[in-house]
Amino acid sequence: MTASLLQHTPKTRQGEIALRAALTAGRVLQKKFYGAREIQSKGFRDIVTDADFAADRAARAILQRAFPHYAILSEEDKTSPPRAEYVWMIDPLDGTTNYSRQIPIFSISIALTRRGQPIVGVVYDPLRRECFFAERGHGAYLNGTRIRASNVADMDRAVVGFELARLPKLRARGLEMFTHLAMQSVTARIGGSAALSLCYVGAGRLDTYLQLTLSPWDVAAGILIAREGGARVTHLDGKPATLNGGAYLAGAPKIFPEFLKQVKSFQVNVEG
């Protein structure tokens, strides 16, 4: 199943298991996509569905069976994991709002971190059967084919990606930044799945990407895949992205300096 879809052989057993978990959870999401949804609110502008929980269970079962001593941190179980050298970070359904409305833009994101750094990343779009994959130091791939960030160097040739923050003040400020960037670019896109957007930067589909409020499980896999594709991923101050959450920027290497300069000019208070 994995070989026929991906045509790619992971370098490590961790990579093989991460792929298996993502593809298994993806089949759960695909099967449930056109069915009735059980939707619950878990906060302001934040929902969860029965599919989130089902995909989470499917992924966990595979990861825990293969690596019982690794910790797990999931969007659907935010309990702080015990101190461990290796931690799986899972977003079983990135793009829940899209999924709940049957908008076909969503993914499952699984990363393995070691001492706080992502070393394996998988982002799987089950409807398009597109699986982005990276292991640190070995490049990034889409269904087994190497991907790379774009060579675009100028904002007036760029395709800009963005996601909406939930908090009103951050949303308003982010939209100001987005409008400014969109006016300079060829076009701009709000996709609804941060993990996919980061992968799209690594694959050259987007040239830049901005989000002001993301959690570790949203970005852990996407950061690695974008970087292994040659893109830069940072926080608003230009420092390399960590897994501490908050605001993130990603961009192709040639355009990133100008993109960062434009974003910094807004002096966003991300705590606001």
- Binned average pLDDT, 10 residues per bin, the chain of 272 residues: 59 96 96 79 63 93 96 80 87 92 95 96 97 97 97 95 86 87 91 96 97 93 98 95 94 96 68 41
Rg (C-alpha) for the chain, rounded Å, is 17
**Pairing assessment for the beta strands 117-125 and 130-135 based on DSSP bridges:** antiparallel
At residue 257's C-alpha, the angle toward residues 214 and 207, to 5°, is: 60
Which two tokens mark 62?
Answer: 């595979």
Q: What is the pLDDT of residue 45?
A: 54
Which two tokens mark 39?
Answer: 């939707």
Q: What is the pLDDT of residue 40?
A: 67
Q: What is the pLDDT of residue 269?
A: 42
As to burial, measured by CB atoms within 10 angstroms (0-12 exposed, 13-18 middle, 19+ buried), residue 254 is middle
Q: What is the pTM of this model?
A: 0.91
- The single residue listed with the structure tokens 């930067």 is 201
Tell me the CATH architecture of domain 155-264.
Answer: 3-Layer(aba) Sandwich (3.40)
Report the candidate in 242, 18, 192 with the shortest Cα–Cα distance to residue 120.
Answer: 18
Locate CATH 3.30.540.10 in the chain.
Answer: 2-146
- β partners of residue 140: 134
Locate CATH 3.40.190.80 in the chain.
Answer: 155-264
In which element (H, E) is residue 182 found? helix 168-184
Q: What is the pLDDT of residue 191?
A: 93
Burial letters for 49-79: b for 16+ Cβ neighbours within 10 Å, e otherwise?
A: bebbbbbbebbbebbeeebeebbbbbbbeee
CA dist., res. 132 & res. 142, Å (int): 5
CA dist., res. 59 & res. 264, Å (int): 38
Distances (CA, A) of 100 to 97, 168, 246: 5, 22, 25
Q: What is the pLDDT of residue 75?
A: 82
Farthest-apart Cα atoms in the chain, separation: 50
Which two tokens mark 30?
Answer: 């695909």
Tell me the CATH architecture of domain 2-146.
Answer: 2-Layer Sandwich (3.30)
Contact by Cβ (8 Å): 124, 108? yes
Q: What is the pLDDT of residue 82?
A: 67
CA dist., res. 104 & res. 80, Å (int): 31
**Pairing assessment for the beta strands 39-43 and 46-49 based on DSSP bridges:** antiparallel
